[in-house]
Amino acid sequence: MEAFGHWSFVRVFLLSAAWFILSVAGWVYLTVRAFSVDVSQGSGGIGAVSVGVGPIIGAISIVPPLVLILAWLIARAMSG
């Protein structure tokens, strides 16, 4: 396996895009599943509606790819 700093931009981009797509797909799945459950059951006792899950889902889907790209840029710059 190549050193992280020697990865191509395409590999880093594809890995970041895959993470983003999978996290959005997971969010869609959970949203559809929540709407398919009987409304009278409430939130299932987890309080997700009152906490506000939107920013958390956004951070889960955006922050790791950004960290990967930044780490790759730093590793690439340090490897010369």
| 62: in domain | yes
pLDDT digits (tens, 9 = 90+) for 9-64: 999 999 999 999 999 898 888 888 877 765 555 555 555 555 566 777 788 889 99
Is residue 17 within 8 A of residue 62, CB to CB? The reply is no
pLDDT band of residue 5 (cuts 50, 70, 90) is: confident
Q: What are the structure tokens assigned to 30, written together?
A: 């959970």
Closest CA to 61 of 36, 9, 25, 24: 24
Question: What does pTM read for this prediction?
Answer: 0.71
User: What does the pLDDT read at residue 72?
Assistant: 94
| 68: in domain | yes
| 75: in domain | yes
Find the domain containing 61 and state its range.
50-80
Q: What is the domain count for the chain?
A: 1
Sign of CA dihedral 70, 54, 48, 23: negative
User: What does the pLDDT read at residue 30?
Assistant: 80
| 10: in domain | no
| 32: in domain | no
Taking 90 as the threshold, does the pLDDT of residue 77 lie above it? yes
